[in-house]
Amino acid sequence: MDKKIVFSGIQPTGNIHLGNYLGAIKNWVDMQDKYKNIFCIVNSHAITIKQDPNILKEQTINLACMLLACGISPKKSSLFIQSNIDEHPALAWILDCNIQMGDMSRMTQFKDKSSKNPRNINVGLFNYPALMAADILLYQVDLVPTGSDQKQHIELARNVAIKFNKDYGKCFKVPEPLILQEGARVMGLDNPKVKMSKSIKSPNHAIFLLDSNDEIKRKIKKATTDSNSNIVFDESRVGLYNLLGIYETLSAKSRIQIESEFEGKGYGEFKNTLIDVLIEVLSPFREEYKRLQDNKDYVLNILNDGVESVRPLAKSTYDKAKELVGLL
């Protein structure tokens, strides 16, 4: 029985932090044996915000190195760069012509990003959900891993696929969302009421996958907790709950086991244990990342192989959509 096709995309902007890893990349690595995975570095999405071209190119390759270092395997999955396949923007134009302005204007991420960048509300920023839909629909995807913040975009892709198939004839598989585990939502260490983010520049906000052991130790030591002393999973104690969630995911222990482990112990001992686990998990990523950085040709060959493995499907889907709408 053929494996279901899963598509995941990630932008090459900023450094990858613990929230990115636990919320997405770890899941991608873990599901490689279960699904046929297509992983795309969506660099075209990145330019909706003005980028330094040289930095964008560098960050694109750096992200490929990091994904491979974290466990994305070219033997199990296809990894490629979005801009290397021209069918992405080509299909996005066809979808643009089949999405109503009202549907696009309701996208909450456009409202959020435009409010943060009021001087850069460009057409691409408004239209990028159509490109995201094209990313997915090109590959006849069965499932799209998603968190709560991306569900609206998956719904748009589903709706445009259904409408297109009805108006022109069968072309696209209608994808289903693959909801990621709730325990993977990581909040800021300094402010556990906001999601961990690349864009927040506070020195103690996030743990990045390339942080040194000393940086990890410092950030966890300074992480917000509270004035209580018992270590239990209590959602109202947001700082401790966030740290416990990180430990739960990395240690693969149950909540009962964790509460028993730290019964009668203080925050100092818990934080030291969390530091040890973080260093144990992240140190191999740093080492493999450095090795890959020293072997860029190897990484570029993997990305080229990824393009060749998915291009035929992308071309087949686009050619059919093009024919159905009457383009020569």
Collect all residues with Cβ–Cβ distance below 8 Å to 194 and sequence separation of at least 6.
187, 188, 200
Residue 116 falls in the annotated catalytic set? no
CA nearest neighbour of 168 among 92, 98, 93: 98
Catalytic residue, chosen from 36, 57, 76, 113, is: 113
Candidates 4, 163, 195, 221; catalytic one: 195
First-last CA distance in the chain: 36
Note if 195 is an active site residue.
yes
Please provide residue 78's backbone torsions phi and psi, each rounded to the nearest 5 degrees. Answer: -100, 125
**Residue 50 annotated as catalytic:** no
| Angle subtended by helix axes 296-324 and 151-168, to nearest 10 | 40
Please tell me the distance from the alpha carbon of residue 293 to that of residue 328, in angstroms, as a whole number.
44
Q: Give, for 280, the enclosing helix (H) or strand (E).
A: helix 267-293
Contact of 222 with 243, CB cutoff 8 Å: no
> Which listed residue (76, 163, 198, 217) is catalytic?
198
User: Active-site positions?
Assistant: 113, 195, 198
